[in-house]
Amino acid sequence: MEIRDKGAVVSGAGSGIGRAMATMLAENGAGVVVADIDMEGGKETVERILAAGGKAVFKRCDVTRTEDLAAAMAAAVEHFKRLDIVCNNAGIGGEALFDDDPGPWAKVVEIDLTAVIDATRIAVREMKKSREGGVIINTASMGGLLPMPGSPVYAASKAGVINFTRSLAYLAPEARIRVNAICPSYVDTPLVRRAGDERVEEMKLQVGGILQPEDIARGVIELVEDDSRAGAIMRVTVRGGRDYAREIRP
């Protein structure tokens, strides 16, 4: 898909990977709805895009609320006259699986998996209205492909995103809608930095370094532009660069 003059929505675009995705899509000519629950961060992303000559608007979005997701998609149509690209990127880490309170780990599932399913559902319905197709990219993780003993619920949620994405490959021939996922290794974001410098250094040693958000954004551009990819799972690692997990044909 040619990105110029398309309408895009990026969730979690107030910082980190989402900000890099939104910025790079705008640099390539898309009009971008910056969707985030963080109003300050989201508006800062918009200001950066506008200052660079791009097109963007902010829409406050709690991805656990269906009405917020629908409003973000509608904002792309309102401001840019179309919805072509959706990046379901918002996510959280942290869990306390064996505590009495299920709240923390349940929230991980709600944001990292359930919200991705809901947003994809809404985006597909909107894209079908135009009959021009579109591209949906779900942010998963290398933790969805490999065990994560320290974060099993996060790993399970991201694994769910991966198989959900693969299972929608049939939408490409049926409705010209391509659903793909991107699986980064550790990325230098505020979320990762909250673990502390010592933990970040451990991560670097474990996987050979740490990615920058722009590394993931470049993968998103590739997935949007490559019309042959549907149900594809892109891996992004320091050692391996960008490659694809084994493809499963529908």
Non-local CB neighbours of 158 within 8 Å, separated by 6+ positions? 112, 113, 140, 141, 143, 144, 183
DSSP 246: P
Contact present, 169 and 120 (Cβ < 8 Å) = no
The residue from 154, 170, 186, 244 that is catalytic is: 154
Active site residue 170: no
Per residue, the 3-state secondary structure of 33-102, as one string, reads EEEECCHHHHHHHHHHHHHCCCEEEEEECCCCCHHHHHHHHHHHHHHHCCCCEEEECCCCCCCCCCCCCC
Contact present, 177 and 136 (Cβ < 8 Å) = yes
Which of the residues are catalytic? Answer: 154
